[in-house]
Amino acid sequence: MTRYQTRLEDSMYVIAEGTRISMRRLMRSGFKNYIGRMSNWTGRYALSEKYMPFYPGYLLGRLWLLHKYTGEDEFKDLAMRILEPIIPDLCDRPLTSQASGLDHYYGLCWAADITGDAQLQKAALRALDRMIDQLWSEKAQIFVISRGRTSVNVDATACLFGFPWAVKHDRGLSRISAPPPKPRRTSATSRPRPRPPIGGSPT
């Protein structure tokens, strides 16, 4: 085993054990439906009476990753316990933030792939259809995330995470048939400027 592999295993062990302890504490504290804000000081999550976009997403991603890495069902069960209450919010209720795209991708999309559950795949595609209905501007050919007095927020990355997944997995369950247009930025007070070339992406 190389030194890199040793460090990776040691690091993943620490992450897994820390996550296991914090999640058990969270469940004992009265978790019912929703994860709330995460403390930047402690890394612990609060509880919430309503769905709060963004906060479940990265936690779900961590739990699914740990399930894949360790093979332990505890992490899968925890992920599903957090995901199931927010599925109606992702699929059937009005969007309150483009950050719901994180919860959709790391929650529903990863859950569908890892578990192979056809119902979760249908839910993930249905949630993306609803996102298109609410955010896509046919006239402008962009996703309008939010509008301000002097600017418009379009094609936000957090909103678009699930689109490549949907194109890959669509089996006639969704009206998505092609990738969305390339993201671009615009505002009411400035014109788009060419971006400098970006270095190679990490592998």
pLDDT recorded at residue 203 = 41
Between 200 and 137, the higher pLDDT residue: 137
Mean pLDDT, range 188-196, rounded to an integer: 47
Phi and psi based region of residue 2 (left: phi greater than 0; alpha: psi -120 to 50; beta: remaining): beta
The mean predicted confidence, pLDDT, of the chain is 82
User: Of the spans 17-31, 151-165, 167-181, which averages the highest pLDDT?
Assistant: 17-31
Per residue in 2-39, pLDDT (tens digit) is 899 999 999 999 999 999 999 999 999 888 889 998 88
Is residue 68 classed exposed, middle or buried when 0-12, 13-18 and 19+ CB atoms within 10 A define those classes?
Answer: middle
- With CA atoms as reference, report the closest residue to 22 among 73, 62, 70, 54: 62
Q: State the Cα–Cα distance between residues 88 and 136, nearest whole angstrom.
A: 21
DSSP 8-state secondary structure symbol assigned to residue 72: -
Q: What is the DSSP string of 160-182?
A: HTHHHHHHHH-SSSSS--SPPPP
Greater confidence (145 vs 88) lies with 88
Structural domains of the chain, ranges and CATH numbers in brackets: 11-169 (1.50.10.10)
Cα separation of 15 and 32, whole Å? 24
